[in-house]
Structure formats: C-alpha cells, structure tokens
Amino acid sequence: MIKLHNIEKVYRTDTIETLALSGITLDVQQGEFLSVMGPSGCGKSTLLNIMGLLDEPSKGELTIAGQKIDRLSDQQLAHFRNKRLGFIFQSYHLINDLHVLDNVELPLLYRKVGAKERRRLATRALEKVGLSNRLKHFPTQLSGGQKQRVAIARAIVGEPEIILADEPTGNLDSAMGNEIMDILLQLNSRDNTTIVMVTHDEQMAKKTHRLVRLFDGTQVQ
C-alpha cells in the first residue's frame, strides 16, 4: 500500500543543513497497522508527513496505492489526500468555529458531496466513534478524548484507505488513550484500513502489527 525507497529529507536554512531522514526504505502492506517509534527528533513525524504527502522528500521514491508520487501539482496532491488519506493529529486540530458535525464533514466538502449526503456520512462516522450525541457541540465544549474521537471521525468519514496518526493518544490520559486505541484497532480489523501511527507509548505499539524504530533519521528496527 505504501512503498518508500531510500527516502531522504534535508532541512536547509541559510546556515544549517539538518538531515531529518536518511535512507528510509519501508513497505506498508494493505490492512497493516504499523507503529513508528523513536526518541524525540528522530524523524518520526517527518516520516509520517512524507507518507501523508504533507511534506516532500528531498530524495527517494514514494508510492501509495500503486501510484508513484512524483511531481504532482498542488491540485493533484490535494485530490489524492482527500480521496485516499485520513489524518489524526496529536493536538486534534479541530476548527473551533465549526461544530462537531461541520468539522467531520470537512473532507466531504472538498469532494463536492451534497449537503444531505455529507450530513448522513458524518453522522454515521460519529456514531462509529460513539459521539452521536454531540453533533452540535463546539470543540471547546468537548474533553480531550471526545475531541480526538471527532478527529478520528473526520479522518474516516471519507473512507480513506490509509490513516496516518501522529501520536493520537499523546495528549490524553491512559484511560482515554486506551479508548482511542481501541477505536483505531477496530477500524483496522473491521474495515481493513491501513494505519500508520507514530507513538511514544510502548504499550500502544505492542498492540499493532509491526513496529518500526527510528534513530537520528535512520531505521534501526
């Protein structure tokens, strides 16, 4: 599903060059739940961003769902992300000015889905994460765990093939973290969604199919 070959990422400023990733070659199979671990600054989030087409590699090849990601225009990248990818962020990144239902509908807005259909799909997604009683609430009225559930609903509403989760339980206590993890595991097992998750939590990582460790931008496991 996701193929990375010799991926390298260099960040350049006027005076400094930082090698964030070097020689990363990785295959993620369809339906696989992969964890990525490593110390802070090892390049985990950079790797996830590259997989999610949120950032460009400096070198190397990336193929997602059989399509080589190479010199795609801004429009093409946006379309690809919309159709095939879903994102869950550590800080949720919900839009506070929109209520829960509008937040979850966001990906469908860019697919030009009609209002009724958007509503139906978003409601269904929220039911899957157990938040159907919070449709008209605003993010500021929700707990951390609830916010993350909304973020998950947003990520899955378009039924993407791949979900990329950057420390989805990082801002939650252990009880809530376990709840979120259970939802992700369910998505993976029930819907065969490919999930790549960055985490610091060894216990969470053990629940996934495979663990990849990074250290100083290189893969060590």
Partner 1 sequence: MLKNYFKIAIAILRRRKFFTFVSLFGISFTLATLLVLTAFIEKIVNDDYPDRKRARSLYLTGVEENGPQMMSSSSFSLSYVNRYIKTLKTPVNVAYYTGRVGTNTYHAGKKIGISFRYVNGSYWDILEFDFLEGRPFTATEVGNREKVAVITQGLKRKYFGENVNAVGQMIEADNQLFRVCGVVKDVPATTYMFNSDMYIPYTVAGNSETGKDFHGEYCAVLLGAAKSDLKAMQTEYDNVVRRLQPSDKGYTRVLSYADVYADAYLRTGNMSKPLKRWVYSIIGGFVFLLLFLPSVNLVNINLTRIMERSSEIAVRKAFGASSNTLVYQFVVENIILTLLGGLVGVVLAMVMLWIFNSAAIFDNVRLQLNPVVLGVGLIACFVFGFISGVYPAWRMSRMTIVKALKA
Asked if 141 interacts with partner 1 (CB under 8 A), we say no
CA count, 13 A, side-chain hemisphere, 3: 9
Smaller CB distance to partner 1: residue 102 or 161?
102
Residue 16 burial class via C-beta count within 10 angstroms: exposed 0-12, middle 13-18, buried 19 and up:
exposed
Query: For residue 186, which amino acid is it?
Result: Q
Sites for partner 1 among residues 31-90 (CB under 8 A):
49, 52, 54-55, 74-75, 78-79, 81-83, 87, 89
Interface size with partner 1, residues (CB under 8 A): 28
Part in contact with partner 1 (CB under 8 A); list of ranges 35-43, 62-70, 109-117, 173-181? 109-117
Interface residue with partner 1 among 18, 27, 67, 111 (CB under 8 A) is: 111
Report the 10 Å Cβ neighbour count for 62. 18
Three-state secondary structure readout of 55-119: CCCCEEEEEECCEECCCCCHHHHHHHHHHHEEEECCCCCCCCCCCHHHHHHHHHHCCCCCHHHHH
Token representation of residue 41:
């600054």
CB of 91 to partner 1, least distance (A): 8
Residue 95 binds partner 1 (CB under 8 A): yes
Which tokens go with 144? 């951390």
Kindly state the smallest distance separating residue 163's Cβ from partner 1, in Å: 12
Residues 180-219 contacting partner 1, CB under 8 A: none
For residue 170, what are its two tokens?
Answer: 């990082």
Min dist CB 51 to partner 1, Å, is 12
- The counts of H helices and E strands in the chain are 7, 10
Residue selected from 106, 176, 185, 211 as contacting partner 1 according to rule CB under 8 A: 106
3, 93, 137, 213: which one binds partner 1 (CB under 8 A): 93
Which stretches of the chain bind partner 1, using CB under 8 A? 49, 52, 54-55, 74-75, 78-79, 81-83, 87, 89, 93-95, 97-98, 102, 105-107, 109-112, 115, 154
